[in-house]
Structure 1
Amino acid sequence: MSCFYGYPERAKRRDSWSLIRRLSGLDSLPWLIMGDFNDLMYESDKQGNVPHPNYLLNGFRETITDRHLSEIDLCGGNFTWEKSRGSTNWVGEKLDRGFASSSWWTKFPLCNLRVIQTSHSDHDPINLVLLKVDISKQKFQFRFENMWLKESSFVAEVTEAWKNIPAYHLLPKLIEVSSFMDKWGRKFFHKFREKVKEQKRIMDDLVDRLDDDSMQAYRTAKGNLNDLLYQEEAYWKQRAKMFWLTEGDENTMFFHSSASARKKLNHIDHLFDNNGVCIKDQEGMADIIFNHFSNLFTGVMAEDDFEHMECPRQVTDEHNAQLVEDLTFGEFTLAVK
């Protein structure tokens, strides 16, 4: 697969076409080229006041045809770049697209490209979908998420729950509130994903409508999507523990990658036993850990070991006597209050 960016200058378009020809002949493997070509193939690829020059349309189309490439269907909108939406000078163009060789189509006959609606840029990215797959869902674990604080109803609902919990001590009350936030978070997580999908769906439906009402609805949906993505960025930022980066800089993918990296660092892939042999299976690594700590806490030190230890005694006989005394009910009550 080749990711391509064509020269934006019209005088250099022939250089872009020549590069496509050279890339297509480098290998006989199944090949896909996609990206921002800064070129159009047909008049229908643009909507605006100024038509695209025919010599550029013909030159780009001949390049694709000569290399026996077929265009991949683009879903989610007719254009991937626009400017001046909502005015009489609005222009939309299909600059981003993908093309594939016949051998690629043999391996991925159901592939397509999807336009991803964005909230900040006037240039929408495209996503390659090879085929539909089901992603396994991991068990939801309770964590306090900073993104909850951006939901206006969260503080009020938690405050109300706190007031309505009949508890005489702090610990059981905290447990009840944590349980409430756990259930609230589960509902919020699913509602949040649905909200993102809904705003993108609205933008997909309105992206090609040019009447005033549709454009206003499009701008509203775009603003709502921006707010939701800001919350998503805060979510992954907390998971990644990257607090030195500010929110609102389109760092969601970076935070997501950082969180994934932290998860990998917390994973034990292998251990070495006492003989220096690398053990990778779970049962073998469990035996190494068990034996290590068993020897660590049950081993008997020789008298000579104590003589060479330069550790001053800190626990007196009186302290030892207090430590082995039975726990009283008063001490228990004082600890849990």
Structure 2
Amino acid sequence: MIMNIIIWNCRGALKPSFQTHVRELVHNHNPAILVLMETKVGGERAREISGRLPFDNAIHTNTVGYAGGLWMLWNSDRVEVTSLANTEQEIHTIIKVMNSDSCWLFTAASPKSAERHILWDNLNKVAELHNMPWVLATNFNEPLLDDDKFGGRAVSINRSLHFKDCLDNCNMMDIGFSGPRFTWTNKREVQALIQERIDRFFVNPNWCLLFPEAKVVHLTRCHSDHCPVLLELTPASRGARKRLFKFQTCWLTDLTFPKVVSQAWEQTHSLAEVVEKFTKDAGLWNKVHFGNIFAKNKNIKARLNGIQRAVSVKPSSFLLNLEQDLLKELDLILRQEEELWTMKSRVNWMIQGERNTGFYHASTLIRRKRNQILAIKDAMGEWIYEEAEVKAFIRNGFNDIYTTSLSSVSRSEAYSTQWQASLTEEEKANISGGVSDAEVK
């Protein structure tokens, strides 16, 4: 099931274009949950307006004078929402996706500048009370890094450090984004223009493991000085991608692997042919012989469970010996699994003897998201989203860099004079001759 969440600081729900734009967002992106910030409407009026929107459930927070107003809207046929706690600037819920086992904590927050420290304290308390997968959707009104701001005063180091401390305490991370760099603008002339990235999604590693393909997209900004931000939990597939060959160091633990290498060198001559044959043979060997180590792990544990149940009823030497053999095999597979995740995560340190594969798995997912190019801007400033077009743009860029417009110039003859140093025939013979035993000694 496609599952999308959108957050949008709409800057007022009483504007004539508000309901039209919400319906357009729903039509284009089909969100199961929509979080609206700074609606500036509360109470019965908020329930009346949200009742006309294409969602059948809602949570509203109270406004503070003519400011605030946080709404969370959802469709109950797609997600089940359990409200935990609400304040004027935050909503804490548990989300369960229908027809699946997915369940996680979801927090929506939009604090006022003067009360950010209250939200940070509350988030720290929430982090101490649970260990669930967690999504934080927020407009912190505070850039985290210098790169998150254009124009105006520099980012406050003191406030950004408090912001970062809160994220670290909550074990939150940014999974990146595609689309325009900034989510808010003051809409001034270029001399006074200020832009910031302040509308964001953060997730913890447990949630990242639950939805490894999730991505964030900054949508087109209109009808507000903030752009809507889309979180796609399960992005639509764009077709199967050809997998590149990758050497796995855990192959070296298998005694039959050196034979694959030696055969590639014995049957071919040029290096290019060796590489081609080795990659082909190694891929086939991995598929037929080495196999999926995660499936092996699961299979061995299932066999061990069956043996241990049988031993508890009727012990025998055969079963006990088989159990010991399987335990040794399991230990080897765990080392292979640890080696695999260590290599994929590219982590240069580890706790000696601890098989913390969950940590390496999360590190791998974070690195992949940081390295993944979801969109790229062309020379005209237009965004390219299709994978084939992104590849073509990068390839053309390299061609432009390494293609010269200069014509080649023939090399001139080496210049020599009669004063140039030269060797006698005897000296040439001594240099080009073999090494004598006396010289070696």
* TM-score bin, normalised by smaller chain: 0.3 to 0.5
Whichever structure has more helix as a proportion of its residues is 1
**Normalising to structure 1: TM-score of the pair?**
0.40
Q: If each structure's strand is expressed as a fraction of its own residues, which one has the higher value? A: 2
TM-score, length-normalised on structure 2? 0.32
